[in-house]
Structure 1
Amino acid sequence: MLAAILAIAALAAFFGLLLGYSAIRFRVEGDPIADQIDSLLPQTQCGQCGHPGCRPYAEALAKGEDDVNKCLPGGEALVLALSDLLGREPVAMEVKEKVPSVAMIDPTLCIGCTLCLQACPVDAIIGAAKQLHGVLIDECTGCELCLPPCPVQCIRMRPLTEDIPRWRWPYPGKQPSDTASPVPVRDAA
């Protein structure tokens, strides 16, 4: 009995030393700048920046392969924070010629399949299986990732109305049509 205990203890010590050595010898260093950028990003994984998620976008920014103005859910505050972190000039938000919008679910067509819930990267859609689903307007980023999986096409994108919290000042020296803000801008007149 004592021999079995000693044999197991010796094997445990050997494998512990082997794992410890492997962890030191084969350690993979992460990019600390990419980690800092990733911590600033909103983690919506929406793909609006052209990357499959926030981490790949952070790695591209750290390598200098992409601009700081691609994350629409992060908004202008994120552009300023990323510019400050990377020592780059702030650039106006890049808008892909689409009006800011949010998803709306038609209650007469929704069958409660939950496919849109699974596709939503920010958990803005709520509901249960075989029950009517709803969208949390304040959480929806307008990424449109919920549209393709819907088997009955009950989800429509509704443009956001311009109101006080969403209104942005026009950039100096530019006309409202030139503004790269993701939100419509009021005329100064």
Structure 2
Amino acid sequence: MPASRSEIVLTAPQIARMIAALTSAIQAGSPAPAELCLVAIRRGGEELATRLAHGLARATGAPPKIGAIDITLYRDDWTMRTDRPVVRRTDITFPVDDREIILVDDVLFTGRTVRAALDELMDFGRPRVARLAVLVDRGGRELPIQPDYVGQTIACAKGERIDVLLGGTPGDDRVVRQRQAGAGLAGL
């Protein structure tokens, strides 16, 4: 099996600036930013949603409602991934009907995770509008889904992976590109 190589493509200060810019864009794009509801897609979107919520609370004086969904059983490929999926809890403790919902995830790739998240969200009600915020858009869409708010677009080849590492300490944050030996950008 070929060895993989990793490369840090975004550092903690860059990520902090991206999150601040995402927060400002979300606030500017919302008719009532104090009434926003953020819904993180577990697990990658949770820390990002928390940080966006803190930034929005500082900017508007009112913290947005925040929830999280687990899309495991809504994925169109869950039976191909494992016989025993690990299902985590969905926490949406506020009404979804007629609300402005921002789905939050760390990386947008094929669009399948977002499609699953939208399917699950609709089981909770009918939002007035649902938007998508991601830290990294790596391209490679298989479905017609685009982010409304994106921190950074990073072109990736087949066989590459983007890992967003947001820890409890912002100084440790980083975005890493994992490459299989021999993988390049020729596959784009």
Q: Same fold (TM over 0.5)?
A: no
Name the structure where strand makes up a greater proportion of residues.
Answer: 2
Q: TM-score, normalised by structure 2?
A: 0.28
Q: TM-score, normalised by structure 1?
A: 0.28
Higher relative contact order by CA 8 Å / sep ≥ 6: 1 or 2? 2
Higher Cα radius of gyration: 1
